[in-house]
């Protein structure tokens, strides 16, 4: 499944799992079918990946991490071949809650590329974003660690500087800006400033009606797509 911009990532971390997560993933799947020009990614705990993949058709099921190892020894590690067989077609790497050393990150990106798993690699500063861009991830998530979960989004200056710096190194890298996203308006404004994609955790998981919030955020992405198409 190809990744195309604009895109939206629902990243419930470990807040949702099992039946509740599956129901939201199926809602996202309906929206992905309704808006075929958008890519919608849904992350899941490892134990839920296969369940989501077998009950959806249009979303990109995404793992929260994987290790750059091959089959064999590695007790407790996350085997790339295993998440691929479970149905994951994208993976987050180097998230602030699961950081990697440079050598580990290089190995994980190489394994993902070999298996055709899309990589969403996190960077918490402009300097780190520039360095990671040289590794040619599919997506660079530019998210200052101090803004995660605060409801405060990155300002326009930060978004434009990171967009420019990364595209200058590799114009094929998609840029995901998702710090502090908590409302559909945040989604709209962040994409309007030039990001290829955005996403959300707590704005959806803590909403009174998570499925409704998910739908409204994805509708905001669709608005951006329609505006870009008219230009």
Segment 129-162, tens digit of pLDDT: 999 999 999 999 987 654 444 445 557 787 888 8
Query: Does the residue 189 lie in any domain?
Result: yes
Query: Does the residue 2 lie in any domain?
Result: no
CATH at residue 34: 3.20.20.70
Q: Which residues are catalytic?
A: 95, 143
Would the pLDDT of 100 be above 60?
Answer: yes
What's the confidence (pLDDT) of residue 150?
45
Segment 9-20, tens digit of pLDDT: 999 999 999 999
What's the confidence (pLDDT) of residue 146?
45
Structurally, how many domains does the chain consist of? 1
Query: Does the residue 1 lie in any domain?
Result: no
List alpha helices for 38-183, DSSP H.
49-54, 80-86, 102-115, 126-133, 156-169
Domain hosting 117: range is 7-230
What does pTM read for this prediction?
A: 0.92
Tell me which residue of 80, 118, 123 sits closest to 100, measured CA to CA: 123
């Amino acid at each position: 499944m190809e990744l195309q911009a604009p895109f939206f990532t629902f990243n419930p971390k470990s807040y949702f799992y099992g039946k509740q997560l599956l129901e939201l993933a199926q809602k996202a799947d309906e929206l992905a079918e309704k808006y075929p020009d958008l890519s919608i990614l849904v992350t899941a705990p490892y134990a839920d990946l296969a369940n989501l993949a077998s009950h959806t058709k249009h979303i990109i099921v995404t793992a929260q991490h994987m290790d750059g190892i091959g089959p064999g020894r590695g007790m407790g590690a996350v085997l790339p071949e295993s998440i691929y067989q479970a149905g994951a077609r994208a993976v987050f790497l180097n998230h602030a809650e699961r950081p990697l050393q440079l050598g580990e990150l290089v190995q994980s990106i190489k394994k993902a590329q070999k298996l055709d798993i899309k990589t969403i690699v996190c960077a918490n500063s402009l300097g780190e974003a520039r360095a990671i861009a040289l590794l040619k991830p599919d997506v660079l998530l530019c998210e200052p660690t101090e803004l995660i979960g605060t409801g405060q989004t990155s300002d326009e200056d930060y978004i434009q500087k990171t967009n420019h710096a990364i595209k200058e190194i590799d114009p094929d890298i998609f840029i995901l800006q998702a710090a502090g996203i908590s409302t559909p308006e945040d989604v709209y404004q962040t994409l309007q400033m030039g990001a290829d994609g955005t996403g959300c955790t707590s704005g959806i998981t803590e909403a009174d009606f998570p499925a409704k919030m998910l739908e409204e955020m994805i509708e905001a992405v669709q608005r951006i797509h329609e505006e870009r198409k008219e230009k």
